[in-house]
Amino acid sequence: MNLSKRRAGVAAIGCIAGLSLVLAACGGDDDDSANGTAAAENGDDADDTDTDPDEDDTDGADDPGDCAAYEQYGDLSGTTVHVYTSIVAPEDLAHIESYKPFEECTGATINYEGSGEFEAQLTVRVRGGNAPDIAYFPQPGLLETVVQDTGSVQSLAGTLAEEYTDLHFAEEWKELGTVDGTFYASPIGANVKSFVWYSPSMFADAGYEIPETWDEMLTLSDQIVADGNGKPWCAGIGSGDATGWPATDWMEDVMLRMHGPDVYDQWMNHDIPFNDPQVAEVLAAVGDILKNDDYVNGGLGDVRSIAATEFQAGGLPILDGNCWMHRQASFYQVNFTEAGATVAPDGDVYAFYLPPMGDDFGNPVLGGGEFAAAFDDRPEVQAFQAFLASPEWANLKAIEGNWISANTGLDLENVDTEINRLSVEILQDPETIFRFDASDLMPGEVGAGSFWTEMTNWIANDKPDDEVLDAIESSWPQ
Amino acid sequence: MTTTPTPPVVPADTAAIPRQLTAAERRAAAARAKLSSPWASAVAIVIALVWTIPTIGLLVSSFRPQQSINTSGWWTWFTNPEFTFANYDEVLFGARESFSTYFINSIVITLPAVVIPITLALLAAYAFAWIDFKGRDILFVAVFALQIVPLQVALIPLMQQYVRWEIAGSFWTVWLSHSIFALPLATFLLHNFMKDIPPSLVEAARVDGAGHVKIFFRVLLPLLVPAIAAFGIFQFLWVWNDLLVALTFAGGTPNVAPLTARLAELAGSRGEAWHLLTAGAFVAMIVPLVVFLALQRYFVRGLLSGGVKG
């Protein structure tokens, strides 16, 4: 009784205070209608919020009209949920802001902690008995390890979070949060990796067209060389302990395009050996670009400079006009904006979809994403877990800027940049063949080990293709 | 001069103890003569320069605009000087939680984590050096042997213990952990310093009727100031620069996280803001630098008095 009275009170206050905003939401408890309105109304200020987070703070928090969507979580006053993630400042601010409506409406406090040492520290904390309530896993491979090693991850079977995941995410996304048949982690954010960054003005001035097929892309590269416009491609695979991963993304993208999703899955699951002729073909195709001294490394040096360049700096020569194309994920736009460039079709830099190699496999997309798993089943933790899988949160988070999700309830209106809208369209398109970054799903010894180091060797020491593939194959755990 | 430091406060009757040059002192004198030759000085200056170059590079970089940091090396600054405080501004005031919070956290963590082990180790060292009890040598070797246990293996058991005591996530965990990890070395070093004090000094005090407490405070403590300062600097730098212990036990939330935790995430989730690291490093360096410069007199003396005497 007490609870429902309180909720009714909150709802009433919400109706009065948010009069101008969402009358409709107060009337119905239907989830979708509430979402739709919230999304539409939030969409209005989407443009200014990403430049000024503080302003959005007041907007979002004092917006009790949204509370109708939170009634299902009940009254959680006085409870605290501890969230542990690998996302650190300044990106953490957007996360913290996006929880505000949940905190306002349910009374729960969300304690956010981000750490660059997430992967190492999480295991220590779980084993030490000090596990966070919810952790954001940057890759499903780590989730699997933690589930199998510690057994402390809560199954989401039968929870509201599972219901929301079923409702709002494609089956393949739920599959990624499932270990050994049990659903553990709901998807949160996503990114699309199959992009080639370029400068629209450079292309326009030189009269180049955006390539529609792989062959056109290679023809364009040759054309750039022939025109004496420098080297068409730039790349950087340096990334501290993870040096080499951008090169593995190249292979994955080409694998998807050359042999299609089925062979991709076989390759990822080791149903075909790593030194299979099909894989060798892929590596050779990547080598045609990355190890071609005519093509790389624009503005940075020769082939070897790819290994010496940090991935953060790998695409920046585009801004100086020294490089024409850079294959990197959607999240790379941060690096361009940090460097003072505008990312837009008519701006300094933009991206096109990495073209397909043929018509056989449609437009496959390589991507990544984060997943939220819980280490506790207290009601407030379950409620927050469900909230993370809900379209409300996806929209709230998208409004904070530079973030997308595969949540089908995510309204394009709320997505801030052109490249992010393009990414969401690709992710939500039912025709899209989406595949998760394979190296994140391979066993750690390979996906976060030999695959990285051997690709680095391949570039830095000019190690031959077959030796690289043999070395990775022999490192695959039996 | 080079060995036992002149005690700041010495009882009058113990001040004039006749001394002869020991073999070690003669060797030290010979070494000093060799080391102060012009050639040695030249080599020392070259080494000092070479070692300082990376730091100078960092300093120069920290004042360069982001675009330049991203695209060219710091040495290009000399041909193309640019100057901006933007990096420092961003580091100090750019984040959700201001840098000062972490600064204060670091101080709150560091002071007890230096005082606690020194206090305990002084008492333990006194007992090991001047109180004769059964099994003293074995116990001392055991304490010393603890040094070789890497702290990493203790992380998870300690964590479990803290969770049981319900102090996980508080400053106590960091203070206790740093004290635990520091004690073996602290006890060993201070014991050696205490052992170096001539037994006749302690015996004389005892004859005059001083008990353990009086001997400890009135006779030994004044003589140990350089040793305490030297170890204090060691421990201070170690705790101030520590990331692992703080991150594991206290966590990265702004109410307990030290400066190093903030510094570690300064570059952003994907390293897109790494140009801030140079400025961040210099801000974090100020306190240890001040402490070191203020106490370096003791530091050098403490090292020498430990090393030259047998």
Please write the tens of the pLDDT for every residue from A25-82: 333 333 333 343 333 444 344 344 344 444 444 444 444 556 888 888 989 999 999 9
Q: Does A322 touch chain B (CB under 8 A)?
A: no
In a domain, A139, yes or no: no
Rounded Cα distance between A3 and A106, Å, is 11
Please say if the pLDDT value at position B302 is more than 70: no
State whether the Cα torsion A403-A389-A407-A172 is positive or negative.
Answer: positive
Place of tokens 């961040």: B280
| B163–A89 CB contact, under 8 Å | no
* The domain boundary residue, chosen from A51, A75, A99: A75
Please say if the pLDDT value at position B42 is more than 80: yes
Residue extent(s) of CATH 1.10.3720.10 domains in chain B:
97-308
Of A88, A240, A340, the CB nearest to B265: A88
Of B159, B262, B268, the CB nearest to A129: B159
List A81's β-bridge partners, or say none. Answer: A110
Domain span at residue A57? 1-75
Please say if the pLDDT value at position B20 is more than 50: yes
**Total count of domains within chain A:** 2
Residue count (chain B):
310
In a domain, A118, yes or no: no
Residues of B in contact with A117 (CB under 8 A): 243, 247, 264
* Complex ipTM > 0.85: no
pLDDT of residue B304: 56
Please say if the pLDDT value at position B271 is more than 80: no
Please say if the pLDDT value at position B73 is more than 70: yes
Rounded Cα distance between A202 and A228, Å, is 14
In a domain, A70, yes or no: yes
Residues of B in contact with A115 (CB under 8 A): 247, 251-252, 261, 264-265
SS3 content of chain B, % helix, strand, coil (to 5): 75, 0, 25
Of B96, B155, B271, the CB nearest to A89: B96
Pick the residue from chain A with its C-alpha nearest to B161.
A128
pLDDT of residue B18: 54
Low-confidence spans in chain A with pLDDT less than 50: 1-63
| A339–B67 CB contact, under 8 Å | yes
Rounded Cα distance between B58 and B63, Å, is 9
Of B160, B252, B274, the CB nearest to A312: B274
Which of the listed CATH numbers 3.30.390.50, 3.40.50.800, 3.30.43.10, 1.10.3720.10 matches domain B97-308? Answer: 1.10.3720.10
Q: Does A137 touch chain B (CB under 8 A)?
A: no
Of B66, B164, B270, the CB nearest to A331: B270
When pLDDT is averaged across residues B280-284 and rounded to a whole number, the result is: 88
Rounded Cα distance between A303 and A461, Å, is 10
The residue with greater pLDDT, A23 or B34, is B34
Q: Provide the token pair at A234.
A: 């730039």
pLDDT of residue A26: 39
Residues of B in contact with A114 (CB under 8 A): 252, 265, 269
Buried b (16+ CB within 10 A) or exposed e, A323-359: bbbbbbbbbbbbbbbbbebebeeebbbbbbbbbbbee
Neighbours of B203 (CB within 10 A): 11
CATH number at residue A288: 3.40.190.10
Which of these ranges, A162-176, A302-316, B24-38, B145-159, has the smallest mean pLDDT? Answer: B24-38
- Measure Cα distances from A169 to A165, A394, A441 in Å: 5, 11, 19
Q: What is the dihedral of CA A419, A407, A98, A423, to 10 degrees?
A: -10
Q: How many CB pairs under 8 A join A and B?
A: 95
pLDDT of residue A253: 95
* Stated pTM of the model: 0.75
State whether the Cα torsion A221-A222-A225-A229 is positive or negative.
Answer: negative
How many angstroms away from the CA of B182 is the closest CA of chain A?
A: 21
Q: In terms of C-beta density within 10 A (0-12 exposed, 13-18 middle, 19 or more buried), how is residue A403 classed? A: buried
Pick the residue from chain A with its C-alpha nearest to B248.
A121
In a domain, A396, yes or no: no
| B251–A113 CB contact, under 8 Å | yes
When pLDDT is averaged across residues B5-27 and rounded to a whole number, the result is: 58
Beta-sheet pairing, A178-179 with A109-114: unpaired
Q: Provide the token pair at A111.
A: 């304690």
Q: Provide the token pair at A35.
A: 């979402």
| B271–A340 CB contact, under 8 Å | no
Q: Which of A98, A100, A117, A330 to mutate to test the interface with B (most CBs of B within 10 A)?
A: A117
Of B94, B158, B269, the CB nearest to A91: B269
pLDDT of residue B284: 87
| A338–B273 CB contact, under 8 Å | yes
**Spatial contact of A285 and A254, defined as CB atoms under 8 Å apart:** yes
**Spatial contact of A115 and A123, defined as CB atoms under 8 Å apart:** no
Quick: pLDDT tens for A295-353.
998 888 899 999 988 898 899 999 989 999 999 998 898 889 888 889 889 889 999 99
| Strands annotated E in A258-363 | 326-327, 350-353
**N-terminal to C-terminal alpha carbon distance within chain A:** 58
Please say if the pLDDT value at position B19 is more than 70: no
* The domain boundary residue, chosen from A75, A104, A130: A75
* The domain boundary residue, chosen from A41, A75, A109: A75
Give the pLDDT band of residue B98 (cuts 50, 70, 90). confident
pLDDT of residue B229: 87
| B95–A86 CB contact, under 8 Å | no
> pLDDT > 70: what percent of chain B?
90
pLDDT of residue B79: 87
| B272–A121 CB contact, under 8 Å | no
